[in-house]
Amino acid sequence: MIYLDHHATTPADPQVVAAMIPWMTTDFGNPHSHTHSAGRRAAQACDEALELLAARTGGRADSLVVTSGATESNNLAILGVMLHPRQRRRHIVTASTEH
């Protein structure tokens, strides 16, 4: 099969899959639930992942934003531009086919 819909999903790198298997099978937890150890471990893992990403990209972990997907990311970017104090025009023209 030749897969041509990489806008919808993309194959994960095998190293990423290997690193994520424990979090999806035996050591899962909600990183926003700090009332139990599984949530605290998940939160720590997320923090470490952000630190690693920041180190690899030359950025800072506290400047990275994690979203749930493309739609949320697009909305955040559009709102950020539109709500910027120096933005004079406050109109967005788009079509339902954009995303």
Residue 2 has pLDDT above 90, yes or no: no
The 10s digit of each residue's pLDDT in 28-72 is 899 999 999 999 999 999 999 999 999 999 999 999 999 988 889
Burial 42-73 (b: 16+ CB within 10 A, else e): bbebeeeebeeeeeeeeeeeeeeeeeeeeeee
The 10s digit of each residue's pLDDT in 62-86 is 999 999 888 899 889 888 888 888 8
The model's pTM is: 0.69
Domain ranges within the chain, ordered by starting residue? 1-64, 67-99
